[in-house]
Amino acid sequence: MRRIYLSLIRPMRIPLLASLPEVLQRVFSLPVAVARSTMDISFAFDPQRQQYHGAAILLRLTENPPPDAARILGVTEADLFVPVFDFLFGEAQLDGLAAVMSTFRLRNENYGMPPDEDQFAERLYKEAIHELGHAFGLIHCFNPFCVMNPSTIIEQIDAKSREMCRQCEKTYEELLRRSGG
Amino acid sequence: MDMRDVSVLVVDDELSVRDSLFRWFKTYGCRVDTAADANEALGKFGDSSWDIVLLDIKMPGMNGIELQRRIGEIDDSVIRIMITAFASVDTAIQALKEGAFDYISKPVNPAQLDHVIRNAVEKRKLLAETALLRKTVEELSLPDEIVGASQPIKRSLELVAEVAKSDATVMIRGESGSGKELIARAIHANSRRKYFPIICINCGAYPEGLLESEIFGHEKGAFTGAQFTRRGKLELANKGTLFFDEIGNVGMKMQMDLLRVLETKQFTRLGGENLITADFRVISATNLDLEHAVKEGRFREDLYYRLNVFTIALPPLRDRPSDIPLLADYFLAKFTKSMGKPIAGFADEALSVLGRYRWPGNVRELRNVIERAMVVAKRDVIQAADLSLPFDEGGCLPAVDSLEEMEQLHIRRILDKTGGNIAQAAELLGIERATLYAKIKKYGLRE
């Protein structure tokens, strides 16, 4: 059976991800495995911007994928960018193999607030589901509570739920059925 | 906001920028394409239409400013958003002055881009809705055109064309319903005053005191109930046209006041002291014999000559029977659209009935008869029975051949007369109620 692979990208604190596979498995109805080795993304570092090139990491994730990979989600604590944008919470190949997300801007500390691990975990789940949703072919949804609602600021991530709306859920099931699981 | 039906063209000479924006818009479900320079972008306009174009200001060859201008020339409704480096914000502002919708600075903040795009889509949607509504309103609210190919109506239209060029005072004569207001509007629409209002006053619709206030306006406290200052029709018609309908119904005092205004174009509001000057053209209309009223002293002779500088006499509909089918088709097309009821035309018998009727209410009556027939019609062609013309009251017998059709018409007329009361209608017709019910069912006279 095909599965979703979580690829840990340095720097990444592994314990944070402990509950993520279970959450993703429930939403996407596919088994989730954590890749054994972590990826070094120093190649994607832009010294001028002091950020990592998200599109370059996406490409690297698709090189030599596990044969049973349905999708691969790279998770990093590094701050991501793609040219023209100043930052991104994450990026995905729409209806492609890979997605990548950063936890860098999901932490309260980034906004001058005290740390809140529960809130951080909730944001991490939402962003992971959102980017994987794109990789499975889902586009943005304008239901404000749907996890596929676009988020360009942290408040938008907090405002939505980590569930897909009925319509996105139906679309996902259809996309999954067509791609043979 | 669903963006799946939005199309976006990204124009930037940097491949990485084009790719990033392409992927970004793809996640919104937009139709998106990219172009590396102005020529390629203009080529894309040949193949397709675009709702939103994002263009980099600095590009080799034709720059973004010039490109946005060219796109505006091709289709002004395309939303153009400039992408600019911080250093060239002044240039972006110049683009805004030339029609660009907004600009975003590099590096682009996703929230800012999201905001600008949402605004752009909203504007595009509103523009499309406005255009659609305007078209619908224009079509539905267009005043009826003057339709006809007969010699008398052609002559009237020639006079309209002739007098519209001048600023002469016009008097339109004609029976009720013959289209006097349409002629007044046609004169106004073809005159140099067409971009200013035409103000219509139905002089027969107001008691004298009220008419005075309508025409001259009033100051606050001018009379009991005058709680606010109100501008009158004379002021509202400034630079436009003032149309006095049923001028023959104006009382003697008002005639004197009007004469003074028409001579000086100056007046004061009721209860006011300030002398107001207005520039307007006067068109009046009447169905009365004004010459007779002058002889009897009911209409001032000086006002009559002041108003009757150029006369257009409208023929009654019965004097131009060849126009009846044209008018009937015109109203049929108009109501088909507004009612959304696809009726293809008239049965021969129906046209014959229309042609033989004398139309005492002229074109207005014809319009009403067609509208009613469209409502009651049960087939895709209007039948003689649908017209419900009062054929025994100053008209003529409808030209139907069969006894059945005649019976159908007669029953409909009696039902109209009794307001749908079956018992009364059966008594008048001299038949049993059950028989009447059977006939109503047979002819489909009621739902």
Residue A130 belongs to a domain with what CATH number?
Answer: 3.40.390.10
CA distance B116 to chain A (A): 13
Are B27 and A139 in contact (CB < 8 Å)? yes
Question: Quick one: pLDDT band at residue B400, thresholds 50, 70, 90?
Answer: low
> Given CB atoms, is A69 within the 8 Å cutoff of chain B?
no
Please indicate whether residue A131 is annotated as part of the active site.
Answer: yes
Chain A residue with the nearest C-alpha to that of B110: A152
Model confidence over B4-20: pLDDT tens digits?
889 999 999 999 899 99
Q: Output the pTM of the full model.
A: 0.57
> Given CB atoms, is A134 within the 8 Å cutoff of chain B?
yes
> Is residue B181 helix, strand or coil?
helix
pLDDT score recorded for residue B393? 44
Question: Quick one: pLDDT band at residue B413, thresholds 50, 70, 90?
Answer: confident
ipTM confidence score: 0.89
pLDDT score recorded for residue A14? 57
CA distance A85 to chain B (A): 4
Model confidence over B29-41: pLDDT tens digits?
999 999 999 999 9
> Given CB atoms, is A127 within the 8 Å cutoff of chain B?
no
Look-up of token digits 């939303």 = B79
Question: Quick one: pLDDT band at residue B399, thresholds 50, 70, 90?
Answer: low
Residue A14 placed within a domain: yes
Q: How many whole angstroms separate alpha carbon B386 and alpha carbon B408?
A: 10
User: Measuring CA to CA, how many Å separate B67 from each of B7, B55, B61, B258, B437?
Assistant: 18, 8, 10, 59, 74
Q: What's the mean per-residue pLDDT of chain B? A: 87
Those residues whose C-beta lies under 8 Å from the C-beta of residue B202, and which sit 6 or more positions away, are: B245, B246
CA distance B113 to chain A (A): 9
pLDDT score recorded for residue B137? 64
Residue from A109, A122, A131, A169 carrying the catalytic annotation: A131
Q: Which of B29, B83, B110 sits opposite A152 (nearest CB)?
A: B110
- Which contacts of B220-226 are long-range, i.e. CB under 8 A and separated by 24 or more positions? B220/B271, B221/B271, B222/B269, B222/B270, B222/B271, B222/B272, B223/B270, B223/B271, B226/B270, B226/B271
Model confidence over B155-207: pLDDT tens digits?
988 999 899 989 999 999 999 889 999 999 989 988 888 878 899 999 988 88
Are A84 and B20 in contact (CB < 8 Å)? yes
CA distance A3 to chain B (A): 23
Phi, psi of B430 (to 5 degrees): 75, 35
Q: What is the mean pLDDT of residues B416-424?
A: 79
> Given CB atoms, is A144 within the 8 Å cutoff of chain B?
no
Residue A122 placed within a domain: yes
Taking residue A12's Cβ as centre, other Cβ atoms within 10 Å add up to 17
pLDDT score recorded for residue B385? 85
pLDDT score recorded for residue A89? 95
Residue A50 placed within a domain: yes
Are B27 and A153 in contact (CB < 8 Å)? no
Q: Which residues form the domain of A34?
A: 3-138
Question: Quick one: pLDDT band at residue B394, thresholds 50, 70, 90?
Answer: very low
Chain B residue with the nearest C-alpha to that of A56: B16
Residue A178 placed within a domain: no
Q: Which of A85, A140, A153 sits opposite B29 (nearest CB)?
A: A140
Residue A48 placed within a domain: yes
Are A94 and B26 in contact (CB < 8 Å)? yes
Question: Quick one: pLDDT band at residue B300, thresholds 50, 70, 90?
Answer: very high
pLDDT above 60 (res B139): no
Taking residue B214's Cβ as centre, other Cβ atoms within 10 Å add up to 18
pLDDT above 80 (res B303): yes
Residue A65 placed within a domain: yes
Look-up of token digits 């029953």 = B411
Residues of B in contact with A175 (CB under 8 A): none
- Residues in B lying within 8 Å of A, measured between beta carbons: 1-4, 12, 14, 16-17, 19-21, 23-24, 26-29, 83, 106-111, 113-114
Are A140 and B17 in contact (CB < 8 Å)? no
Chain B residue with the nearest C-alpha to that of A139: B27
pLDDT score recorded for residue B446? 67
pLDDT score recorded for residue A35? 83
pLDDT score recorded for residue A29? 94
pLDDT score recorded for residue B427? 85
pLDDT score recorded for residue B225? 76
Question: Quick one: pLDDT band at residue B395, thresholds 50, 70, 90?
Answer: very low
Q: By the 8 A CB rule, do B80 and B72 touch? A: yes
Q: By the 8 A CB rule, do B99 and B80 touch? A: yes
Higher pLDDT, B197 or B224: B197
CA nearest neighbour of B79 among B20, B3, B4, B6: B6
CA geometry: angle A144, A148, A150, nearest 5 deg: 70
The domains of chain B, with CATH numbers, are 7-140 (3.40.50.2300), 151-315 (3.40.50.300), 318-443 (1.10.8.60)
Residue A177 placed within a domain: no
Are A55 and B17 in contact (CB < 8 Å)? no
CA distance B45 to chain A (A): 24
pLDDT score recorded for residue B391? 52
Q: Which two tokens stand for residue B213?
A: 């206030």
Question: Quick one: pLDDT band at residue B272, thresholds 50, 70, 90?
Answer: confident
Q: Which of A84, A91, A92 sits opposite B108 (nearest CB)?
A: A84
- Which contacts of B23-27 are long-range, i.e. CB under 8 A and separated by 24 or more positions? B23/A55, B23/A82, B23/A91, B23/A93, B23/A94, B24/A85, B24/B110, B24/B113, B26/A94, B26/A139, B27/A92, B27/A94, B27/A134, B27/A139, B27/A140, B27/A150
pLDDT above 80 (res B397): no
pLDDT score recorded for residue B140? 55
- Chunk chain A into consecutive blocks of 10 residues (it has 181) and report each block's average pLDDT, rounded to whole numbers: 88 71 95 85 93 94 92 94 92 95 92 92 96 96 94 94 96 89 57
Residue A162 placed within a domain: no
Total domains present in chain A? 1
